[in-house]
Amino acid sequence: MIKYQSAKVDGLNIFYREAGDTNRPTMVLLHGFPSSSHMFRDLMPLLSDRFHLLAPDYPGFGQSDAPGRDQFAYTFDHLTEVVTDWLVQLHETKFLMYVFDYGAPIGFRIAMQHPDWIQGIVSQNGNVYQAGLGPKWAARRDFWQHPTASKRAQYRNAFAPATIRGQYLNGAPAMAVGPDGYTLDIAYTRTAGYAERQLDLIYDYQTNVRLYPRFQEYIRQHQPRLLAVWGKNDASFIYPGALAFRRDAPRAKVVLLDTGHFALESHAGTIAQLIKEYFTGEQ
């Protein structure tokens, strides 16, 4: 059974999903853009017999509070601060983490700041290497280096309905991805202030790229158990980003799946089994 809960953190209501026995190892599931914890709706039941699972919605995403930009700075440092405070409030400071898309820079910030908290990492299209940045990132670098109002406005296309559907469907097996995930994501884009806070995060993503060398240093120094499972047809975070983990963690396991960015939509069962095999030895 999945429980749907909320906690008051730094003055905000933070929504989260919880499943599994609290006596089992905890796994924190960190979602990406433009999604929320609902992206783990199929995975959590498959892992709840082996793990205690926690999946929050970040501020400005899903069912968590979305304060205005005049009240809350939408940066990755700030999102990390709230997630960290949420974990401390729940007394969860020993866990495995599953990082996807935006969840990777948030999760690796936490790992860098609190390496003793991390007992293992699943990176599913959660990039921390230049090698994993697809061709579209060249235009984003231009935006970061020469920001203008017109360039910022162009990035509204990132959460247009057709773009969101494409993120789910492109590279995935035909007829393998249902409409539930992208339909909900599209609905969230219509909430008040959505566009401006997401544009702030698109601009702030440059801080994540600058931190890549420090994330890699964390991996080299601490050698966490690491499973990189990647939708190899992802055009945003391309699969060389998965292979790059082996440069810093030679014992990392890398698995490339024949699907796209939102690999859980088509391969939740496969990914659950890989996690169980890698972290619990279950065949």
Residues forming the active site: 261
d(CA 121, CA 215) in angstroms, rounded, equals 13
C-beta neighbour count of 9 within 10 angstroms:
23
**Cβ–Cβ < 8 Å for 225, 257:** no
Q: Which residues contact 195 (CB under 8 A, 6 or more apart)?
A: 156, 159, 189
Cβ 78 vs Cβ 85: under 8 Å: no
Cβ atoms of 233 and 197 within 8 Å: the answer is no
Tokens standing for 159? 């959460």
Question: Is 14 within 8 Å of 82 (Cβ atoms)?
Answer: yes
Residue 91: both structure tokens together:
């007394």
Sign of the C-alpha dihedral computed for residues 93, 225, 239 and 209 taken in this order: positive
**Reduced to 3 DSSP states, what percent helix, strand and coil does the chain have, rounded to the nearest 5?**
45, 15, 35
Look at residue 252 and give its three-state secondary structure. coil
